[in-house]
Amino acid sequence: MLVLSVFLCGCSTLPEKTGSVKVTSSPSGADVYLDNEYHGTTPATITAVPAGNHTVEIRQSGYETWSTSITVTSAGTLNVSTSLKPSAATTMTTAGTIVPTTTKKGTPEIHVDGYWTYPAIRSYTNPVSLLVHAEGANVGYADARVVTASANMYYNDQQICWTKLYFGTIPAGGHATKDTMISCSLPSGSSDNDLVIKFENVVVSQ
Protein backbone atom coordinates (compact mmCIF):
# COMPACT_ATOMS: atom_id res chain seq x y z
CA MET A 1 0.00 0.00 0.00
CA LEU A 2 2.83 2.39 0.75
CA VAL A 3 4.46 1.83 -2.60
CA LEU A 4 1.18 2.50 -4.39
CA SER A 5 0.68 5.77 -2.52
CA VAL A 6 4.10 7.05 -3.55
CA PHE A 7 3.42 6.12 -7.16
CA LEU A 8 0.10 7.98 -7.20
CA CYS A 9 1.66 11.13 -5.75
CA GLY A 10 4.20 11.13 -8.58
CA CYS A 11 1.38 11.44 -11.16
CA SER A 12 0.46 15.09 -10.43
CA THR A 13 -0.82 17.23 -13.37
CA LEU A 14 1.87 19.09 -15.33
CA PRO A 15 1.58 22.97 -15.34
CA GLU A 16 -0.24 24.41 -18.39
CA LYS A 17 2.04 25.89 -21.04
CA THR A 18 1.35 29.64 -21.43
CA GLY A 19 2.81 32.71 -23.05
CA SER A 20 2.19 36.50 -23.26
CA VAL A 21 0.72 38.84 -25.86
CA LYS A 22 1.76 42.49 -26.04
CA VAL A 23 -0.73 44.64 -27.95
CA THR A 24 -0.14 48.20 -29.21
CA SER A 25 -2.10 50.42 -31.59
CA SER A 26 -2.07 53.81 -33.22
CA PRO A 27 -3.88 55.69 -31.84
CA SER A 28 -3.47 54.20 -28.39
CA GLY A 29 -6.29 53.79 -25.89
CA ALA A 30 -8.20 51.26 -28.03
CA ASP A 31 -10.08 48.38 -26.39
CA VAL A 32 -8.32 45.00 -26.56
CA TYR A 33 -10.21 41.70 -26.80
CA LEU A 34 -8.62 38.25 -26.74
CA ASP A 35 -11.04 35.57 -27.89
CA ASN A 36 -13.88 38.09 -27.28
CA GLU A 37 -12.74 38.70 -23.69
CA TYR A 38 -11.87 42.29 -22.71
CA HIS A 39 -8.28 42.92 -21.59
CA GLY A 40 -8.00 46.68 -21.12
CA THR A 41 -6.77 49.31 -23.56
CA THR A 42 -3.64 49.65 -25.68
CA PRO A 43 -0.81 49.42 -24.92
CA ALA A 44 -1.65 46.23 -23.05
CA THR A 45 0.20 43.04 -22.10
CA ILE A 46 -1.87 39.90 -21.63
CA THR A 47 -0.16 37.22 -19.55
CA ALA A 48 -0.89 33.55 -18.89
CA VAL A 49 -2.31 33.04 -22.37
CA PRO A 50 -2.61 29.32 -23.14
CA ALA A 51 -0.28 28.20 -25.91
CA GLY A 52 -2.09 27.77 -29.19
CA ASN A 53 -4.28 29.72 -31.61
CA HIS A 54 -6.25 32.79 -30.52
CA THR A 55 -7.95 35.86 -31.97
CA VAL A 56 -7.01 39.44 -31.03
CA GLU A 57 -9.50 42.22 -31.73
CA ILE A 58 -8.94 45.97 -31.30
CA ARG A 59 -11.87 48.40 -31.15
CA GLN A 60 -11.83 52.19 -31.03
CA SER A 61 -14.72 54.64 -31.45
CA GLY A 62 -14.48 56.40 -34.83
CA TYR A 63 -12.20 53.70 -36.29
CA GLU A 64 -12.71 50.41 -38.09
CA THR A 65 -12.51 47.33 -35.86
CA TRP A 66 -9.28 45.39 -36.47
CA SER A 67 -8.69 41.69 -35.73
CA THR A 68 -6.06 39.04 -36.39
CA SER A 69 -5.34 35.41 -35.62
CA ILE A 70 -2.26 34.66 -33.52
CA THR A 71 -0.37 31.60 -32.27
CA VAL A 72 1.02 31.79 -28.73
CA THR A 73 4.04 29.67 -27.80
CA SER A 74 4.99 28.43 -24.37
CA ALA A 75 7.02 30.98 -22.35
CA GLY A 76 7.10 33.30 -25.35
CA THR A 77 5.88 36.91 -25.84
CA LEU A 78 4.05 37.74 -29.03
CA ASN A 79 3.93 41.38 -30.21
CA VAL A 80 0.75 42.54 -31.97
CA SER A 81 0.61 46.06 -33.41
CA THR A 82 -1.64 47.92 -35.86
CA SER A 83 -2.56 51.36 -37.15
CA LEU A 84 -6.34 51.77 -37.00
CA LYS A 85 -8.20 53.18 -40.02
CA PRO A 86 -10.82 55.92 -39.50
CA SER A 87 -14.34 54.75 -40.17
CA ALA A 88 -16.18 56.00 -43.28
CA ALA A 89 -18.25 58.49 -41.23
CA THR A 90 -15.14 59.94 -39.63
CA THR A 91 -13.42 60.28 -43.00
CA MET A 92 -16.38 62.24 -44.40
CA THR A 93 -16.46 64.54 -41.38
CA THR A 94 -12.74 65.20 -41.60
CA ALA A 95 -12.93 65.89 -45.32
CA GLY A 96 -15.80 68.27 -44.74
CA THR A 97 -13.73 70.39 -42.37
CA ILE A 98 -10.73 70.53 -44.70
CA VAL A 99 -12.29 71.10 -48.11
CA PRO A 100 -13.33 74.77 -48.41
CA THR A 101 -16.97 75.40 -49.20
CA THR A 102 -17.87 77.25 -52.36
CA THR A 103 -18.86 80.82 -51.63
CA LYS A 104 -22.34 81.66 -52.82
CA LYS A 105 -22.30 84.32 -55.51
CA GLY A 106 -23.81 87.54 -54.23
CA THR A 107 -27.14 88.42 -55.80
CA PRO A 108 -29.88 90.84 -54.74
CA GLU A 109 -33.30 89.47 -53.83
CA ILE A 110 -36.15 91.97 -53.55
CA HIS A 111 -39.46 91.52 -51.77
CA VAL A 112 -42.13 94.21 -52.23
CA ASP A 113 -45.21 94.56 -50.05
CA GLY A 114 -47.55 97.30 -48.86
CA TYR A 115 -51.14 98.52 -48.80
CA TRP A 116 -53.55 101.13 -50.15
CA THR A 117 -55.60 103.67 -48.21
CA TYR A 118 -57.48 106.91 -48.75
CA PRO A 119 -55.56 110.19 -48.44
CA ALA A 120 -56.17 112.51 -45.48
CA ILE A 121 -58.54 114.58 -47.61
CA ARG A 122 -60.71 112.03 -49.34
CA SER A 123 -62.44 112.71 -52.64
CA TYR A 124 -65.78 111.06 -53.29
CA THR A 125 -65.70 111.72 -57.02
CA ASN A 126 -64.93 109.06 -59.56
CA PRO A 127 -62.13 108.44 -60.47
CA VAL A 128 -60.99 108.41 -56.83
CA SER A 129 -57.54 109.18 -55.51
CA LEU A 130 -55.84 106.44 -53.44
CA LEU A 131 -52.61 106.49 -51.46
CA VAL A 132 -50.30 103.54 -52.07
CA HIS A 133 -47.66 102.71 -49.45
CA ALA A 134 -45.01 100.22 -50.60
CA GLU A 135 -41.93 98.77 -48.95
CA GLY A 136 -39.06 97.06 -50.73
CA ALA A 137 -36.65 94.81 -48.82
CA ASN A 138 -33.38 93.38 -50.17
CA VAL A 139 -32.80 90.00 -48.52
CA GLY A 140 -30.09 89.00 -50.99
CA TYR A 141 -26.29 89.15 -50.83
CA ALA A 142 -25.60 92.11 -53.11
CA ASP A 143 -26.82 95.68 -53.60
CA ALA A 144 -29.73 96.32 -55.97
CA ARG A 145 -28.76 99.41 -57.94
CA VAL A 146 -32.19 100.16 -59.41
CA VAL A 147 -35.48 98.64 -58.23
CA THR A 148 -38.83 99.26 -59.90
CA ALA A 149 -42.23 97.62 -59.49
CA SER A 150 -45.84 98.20 -60.39
CA ALA A 151 -48.68 98.65 -57.91
CA ASN A 152 -51.77 97.13 -59.52
CA MET A 153 -55.31 97.61 -58.21
CA TYR A 154 -57.80 94.79 -58.85
CA TYR A 155 -61.56 94.57 -58.61
CA ASN A 156 -63.00 91.05 -58.83
CA ASP A 157 -59.66 89.89 -60.27
CA GLN A 158 -59.81 92.53 -62.99
CA GLN A 159 -57.08 95.19 -63.08
CA ILE A 160 -58.66 98.65 -62.94
CA CYS A 161 -55.61 100.91 -62.46
CA TRP A 162 -51.91 100.82 -61.77
CA THR A 163 -48.85 102.96 -61.12
CA LYS A 164 -45.12 102.43 -61.41
CA LEU A 165 -42.96 102.53 -58.28
CA TYR A 166 -39.33 103.60 -58.30
CA PHE A 167 -37.31 102.60 -55.21
CA GLY A 168 -33.85 103.49 -56.44
CA THR A 169 -30.91 101.67 -54.82
CA ILE A 170 -31.56 99.15 -52.04
CA PRO A 171 -28.36 97.80 -50.44
CA ALA A 172 -28.02 94.18 -49.35
CA GLY A 173 -29.97 93.75 -46.13
CA GLY A 174 -31.60 97.17 -46.56
CA HIS A 175 -35.09 98.41 -47.36
CA ALA A 176 -36.83 101.40 -48.89
CA THR A 177 -40.34 102.85 -48.71
CA LYS A 178 -42.41 104.57 -51.35
CA ASP A 179 -45.65 106.55 -51.00
CA THR A 180 -47.46 107.58 -54.14
CA MET A 181 -50.94 108.62 -55.27
CA ILE A 182 -52.92 106.65 -57.78
CA SER A 183 -56.15 107.59 -59.58
CA CYS A 184 -58.69 104.80 -60.01
CA SER A 185 -62.06 104.63 -61.72
CA LEU A 186 -64.08 102.40 -59.42
CA PRO A 187 -66.87 100.23 -60.84
CA SER A 188 -70.38 101.17 -59.83
CA GLY A 189 -71.47 99.56 -56.58
CA SER A 190 -67.94 98.51 -55.55
CA SER A 191 -66.87 98.72 -51.92
CA ASP A 192 -63.51 99.11 -50.23
CA ASN A 193 -63.39 95.37 -49.50
CA ASP A 194 -63.60 94.64 -53.22
CA LEU A 195 -60.32 96.43 -53.97
CA VAL A 196 -57.09 94.45 -53.81
CA ILE A 197 -53.58 95.78 -54.41
CA LYS A 198 -50.79 93.61 -55.78
CA PHE A 199 -47.13 94.50 -56.24
CA GLU A 200 -45.93 92.92 -59.45
CA ASN A 201 -43.40 93.21 -62.27
CA VAL A 202 -40.45 93.78 -59.92
CA VAL A 203 -37.33 94.67 -61.91
CA VAL A 204 -33.88 94.68 -60.30
CA SER A 205 -30.63 96.01 -61.75
CA GLN A 206 -27.43 94.91 -60.04
What is residue 105's predicted lDDT score, i.e. its pLDDT? 57
* C-alpha closest to that of 42 among 87, 97, 83: 83
Q: What is the CATH number of the domain that holds 49?
A: 2.60.40.1120
Averaged over 31-50, what is the pLDDT? 92
Indicate whether 122 and 65 sit together in one domain: no
Indicate whether 116 and 197 sit together in one domain: yes
By the 8 A CB rule, do 205 and 171 touch? no
Q: What are φ and ψ of residue 194, in 5° steps?
A: -85, -15
What is residue 206's predicted lDDT score, i.e. its pLDDT? 67
What is residue 88's predicted lDDT score, i.e. its pLDDT? 67
State the total domains in the chain: 2
Instruction: Evaluate whether residue 104 is within a structural domain.
Output: no
**pLDDT reading at 27 higher than 60:** yes
Burial of 33 from C-beta contacts in 10 A (0-12 / 13-18 / 19+): middle
Q: Which residues constitute the domain of residue 133?
A: 110-205
